[in-house]
């Protein structure tokens, strides 16, 4: 297993909220495409719901209704996500919402990550810039004379 880990790319996670439990499924074919093209590998995918009383529960794919076909994601579980992760994700949700928690390997970055590990480099910081923040910064730059 340790040799497998040495071969891996960076691993990220996302929690995507669907306010009012309105999941259209529009993004799921795009997620499958990312996997099919070898850009990412899904390690875990869990769906949760936060009720009006604040309680959080993991959902089975069949609990999500017939409008969205999620059978392609059955078995996408490495066991990395535990109840504490589900509870923490639930804290970020508004009541009467559902969410998908996705843990994925950035397969596209694996060769670079392996080269960095071989050279003794180590990641000391990482982060994401929300698109809204990026757009706001660009708007400020454009507004500056």
Domain boundaries, the chain: 2-109
pLDDT of residue 69: 62
Q: What is the pTM of this model?
A: 0.81
Q: What is the pLDDT of residues 80-136, one digit of tens each?
A: 888 899 999 999 999 999 999 999 999 999 999 999 999 999 888 888 898 999 999
Reduce the DSSP state of residue 4 to 3 states and report it. helix
Q: What is the pLDDT of residues 23-76, one digit of tens each?
A: 777 888 899 899 999 999 999 999 899 999 999 988 876 666 565 566 677 777
Nearest residue to 98 via CA among 139, 56, 140: 56
Reduce the DSSP state of residue 40 to 3 states and report it. strand
């Amino acid at each position: 297993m340790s040799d497998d880990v040495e071969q891996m790319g960076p691993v990220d996670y996302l929690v995507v909220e669907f306010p009012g439990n309105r999941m259209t499924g529009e993004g799921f074919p795009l997620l499958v495409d990312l996997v099919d093209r070898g850009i990412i590998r899904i390690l875990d995918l869990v769906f949760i719901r936060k009720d009006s009383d604040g309680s959080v529960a993991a959902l089975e794919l069949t609990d999500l209704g017939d409008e969205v076909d999620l059978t392609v994601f059955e078995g996408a579980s490495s066991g990395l996500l535990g109840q504490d992760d589900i509870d923490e994700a639930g804290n970020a949700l508004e009541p009467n919402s559902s969410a998908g928690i996705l843990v994925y390997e950035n397969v596209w970055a694996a060769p670079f990550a392996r080269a960095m590990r071989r050279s003794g480099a180590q990641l000391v910081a990482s982060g994401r810039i929300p698109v809204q923040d990026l757009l706001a910064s660009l708007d400020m730059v454009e507004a500056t004379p």
